[in-house]
Structure 1
């Protein structure tokens, strides 16, 4: 495993950030009546994926805390997938874009699960990372 010095260097954070930015941009085109019920919710959950990764990074000294925050990130990713489905079914996001983003979130979740399962390998105790 290559030495990672900052959470922004993690592939999962880089790709989740890009997906969150795409969702933020797309949600600006949702109808005004969806401002609080859908637009705000999907933006919050997609951004929270990265926020929880950054929190996990700060807690990596303690593998259980690190894994817990990665689980929070996974939970936010799952919520985002739910909102993507609503956006698509309501006609605010094309099915193609929603499915492509959903597939990316599926990959983030797999990465997060793998990281959480190997939390001790990311621990700063012993100076591994």
Structure 2
């Protein structure tokens, strides 16, 4: 299991959770500036998928006392949310709602987070 200098007691103690949470706050703030017509469509999807990574980690971590396989399943769902958010980022850029620099920054962050999720899932095997 991933260590951050002390015992991991909750999902929010995981480094991958901390990174995903920080980026999701950035995504949330940026999407508030999307056009009104996108607030319940693209912006909402982007916010929900970015937050879904942390939500899946939190739920799975809480269930790991019953089964490491169950936690691995939730990590896989977090990976799915990570892939989903990358898709919505591409749409946001292609529709002109975010800059190329922001797209590149977010895609790089989510690629790193995805790799962290893969590594965490592998450690459970």
Provide the TM-score with structure 2 as the length reference.
0.92
Conserved 8 A contact 1:60-1:119 = no
1:14 is displaced (CA, Å) by 0.5
2:17 pairs with 13, 21, 30, which one? 13
**Contact 2:64-2:71 at 8 Å conserved across structures:** yes
What residue in structure 2 maps to residue 101 of structure 1?
Answer: 106
CA contact (8 A) 2:63 2:70 kept: yes
Q: How does 1:48-59 map to 2 (within 5 A)?
A: 48-59=52-63
Alignment of 1:1-129 (within 5 A): 2=3, 3-61=7-65, 62-120=67-125
**Greater Cα offset, 56-65 or 97-106:** 56-65
Q: Is the 1:53–1:70 contact (alpha carbons within 8 Å) kept by the matching residues of 2?
A: yes
SS in 2 for 1:4: coil
**CA distance in structure 2 between the aligned counterparts of 1:109 and 1:102, rounded to whole angstroms:** 10
Q: How far has the Cα of 1:118 moved from its partner?
A: 1.3
Contact 2:46 2:89 in 1 (8 A): yes
Question: What displacement does 1:36 show?
Answer: 1.9
Structure 1, unmatched stretches of 5+, are 121-129
1:17 touches 1:50 (CA, 8 Å); kept in 2?
yes
Q: After TM superposition, give the deviation of residue 119 of structure 1 in Å.
A: 1.2
What are the ranges of 5 or more consecutive residues in structure 2 without an aligned counterpart? none
- Report the more deviating stretch, 57-66 or 17-26: 57-66
Cα separation, 1, equivalents of 2:63 and 2:109: 25
Counterparts of 1:35 and 1:7 in 2: how far apart (Å)?
29
Secondary structure (helix, strand or coil) at the match of 1:99 reads helix
**Offset at residue 26 of structure 1 (A):** 0.2
How many aligned positions are there?
A: 120
